[in-house]
Amino acid sequence: MRARVGSVAAALTLLLAGCSAPAPAPREDRAAPLVLPNGYSDPGAEAAFVPECNTLAGREQYNPRRTLNPAGLTRDAAGTPTGAKLAEIRKKGLVVGVSQTTPLLSRRNQATGRMEGYEIDIVNRVAAELFGGPLDPDDSRLRLVTMPTGSRLLALDTVKNREARQRDPELAEVPEVDMVIADVTLTCSRVFTHDVMYSSPYLTTNAGILTRTGAERRASLADLRGRKVCAASATTSIADLTAARSDTGILPVSVPDSSECLMLLQRGLVDAIYTDYPILQGLRLQDPGTTLVDLRGQGGGEAGIAMSEDHQDLIRFVNGVLAEMRADGTLVASRNRWFVDEVRAAGLGDPGTPLDLPPVGYVD
């Protein structure tokens, strides 16, 4: 009997051992993959170096302040401005390259679906003067095409841009526009590289720094030694950061569009954003949990509407509209609405006084 009991107990022990699951193997700890925006560059990607802009003759030939006098615009018997490009636009409509990710300057209102901002006010005035009266928001004669910061000027129909498209098939995807208004700083290198001519300036800026609120106070680039600072690729801002690297010890990184820097800042992947102050004002509206430092007297520059240098009638026409807006006060009124009133209304403190527009000069 004892033998039988022992046999049964042994059998039960073996059965239980066979039915029990093996101990799980220890799991290897794996961090979530780091996802960065397409086009992220560390170190930051500057525009191609243009040696011509380092010579006196080159700076004169490709001077970005050279623009055309609206008084030279031809008119018909009724006084309507004429020209080949203006006639083409009246027939097919006006196509303008803008940003939709820079609040205050140019952004799509999520509630209405309409584009709004300082630059959009200027575009609407140009269209109204061109087509004989204000256009409804859905009027097909005005088409706004959103463009990433780094490739915006490639959308203009110029000789050098056409050559670039032939060399690089991927550029075929860049839409073609009649003008670009997207806080494009006037630079010699852009005139040389893209065969553009700017309008008279509609905005004067300086640089600024945007950091996360609660981080150590950083009032200058020198306070960011050893830290990653973000700007848009191929812009004057990333050029500033690269030039300041040796003296300040910062680590410049870049992305195709300035708005992507905000995402990197929010995720803690960069410590600051450096770009034109009005752009940073808009980014702070998107994320009030940030701190903005105004670097008066540093960086920035003058922004103008970029057009093909071949479309001289359009350049003169746009300069005429900007001259009217300066004269009747609507340019300053729009600027103050967006960069002063809107910032105050958002409860983000005193925005300060926007920089004055520079005097206008024409080459003819």
**Confidence tier at 302 by pLDDT (50, 70, 90):** very high
Q: Say whether both 102 and 193 belong to one domain.
A: yes
Same domain for 188 and 317: yes
Same domain, 286 and 335: no
Tell me, yes or no, whether 226 and 152 share the same domain. no
pLDDT of 273 > 90? The answer is yes
On whether both 185 and 333 belong to a single domain, the answer is yes
Residue 28 within any structural domain of the chain: no
pLDDT band with cut points at 50, 70 and 90 for residue 12: very low
In a domain? residue 97: yes
* 36 band by pLDDT with thresholds 50, 70 and 90: confident
Sheet containing 272-276, strands listed edge to edge, beginning at the edge strand earlier in sequence: 251-255, 228-232, 272-276, 207-212, 290-295
**27 has pLDDT over 80:** no
For 314-347, how does the pLDDT look when each residue is reduced to its tens digit (9 = 90+)?
999 999 999 999 999 999 999 999 999 999 998 8
Asked if 104 and 195 sit in the same domain, the reply is: yes
DSSP string over 187-202: -HHHHHHH-EEE-S-S
Instruction: Print the domain residue range for 332.
Output: 56-204+302-346
Residue 100 belongs to a domain: yes
Phi/psi of residue 176, nearest 5 degrees: -100, 135
Is pLDDT above 80 for 247? yes
Element (H, E) at 131: helix 118-131
pLDDT at 284 > cutoff 90:
yes
Question: Does the predicted TM-score (pTM) go above 0.85?
Answer: yes
Distance CA 101, CA 113 (A): 13
Does residue 328 belong to any structural domain of this protein? yes
Q: Are residues 89 and 148 in the same domain?
A: yes
pLDDT of residue 25: 61
pLDDT at 24: 60
Confidence of residue 14 (pLDDT cuts 50, 70, 90): very low
pLDDT at 5 over 50: no
Does position 93 have pLDDT exceeding 90, yes or no?
A: yes
pLDDT at residue 352, rounded to an integer: 84
When divided into structural domains, the chain yields a total of: 2
What CA–CA distance (Å, rounded) separates 197 from 316?
11
| Residue 122 predicted with pLDDT over 70 | yes
Predicted pLDDT at 38: 85
pLDDT at 101 over 50: yes
Q: Is residue 242 part of a domain?
A: yes
Together in a domain, 183 and 246: no
pLDDT at residue 257, as a whole number = 87
What pLDDT, in 10s, does the model give residues 203-230? 999 999 999 998 777 889 999 999 999 9
- The three-state secondary structure class of 62 is coil
Whats the size of the chain, residue-wise? 364
In a domain, 20, yes or no: no
Token pair of 173 as six digits: 């995807």
Mean pLDDT of the chain: 89
Domain-embedded: residue 91? yes
Angle (nearest 5°) at CA 211 between 208 and 217: 95
Report, as an integer, the average pLDDT of 22-50. Answer: 74
Query: How would residue 19 be classed by pLDDT, with cut points 50, 70 and 90?
Result: very low
219-246 mean pLDDT: 93
Which CATH number belongs to the domain containing residue 194 in this structure? 3.40.190.10
pLDDT band at 151 (very low <50, low <70, confident <90, very high): confident
Which residue would you say has higher pLDDT here, 296 or 142? 142
Contact 92, 339 (CB under 8 A): no
pLDDT of residue 44: 86
Residue located via tokens 């609120």: 213
248 and 342 both lie in a single domain: no
Q: Confidence band (pLDDT; 50, 70, 90) for 287?
A: very high
**Any domain includes 143:** yes
DSSP 296: T
Q: Note whether 286 and 313 are same-domain residues.
A: no
Does residue 94 sit in the same domain as residue 109? yes
Query: Distance between CA atoms of 178 and 209, rounded to whole angstroms?
Result: 33
**CA–CA separation, 20 and 285 (whole Å):** 60
Place of tokens 């009724």: 78
Q: Tell me, what amino acid is at 199?
A: S
> Do 85 and 161 lie in a common domain?
yes
d(CA 161, CA 154): 6
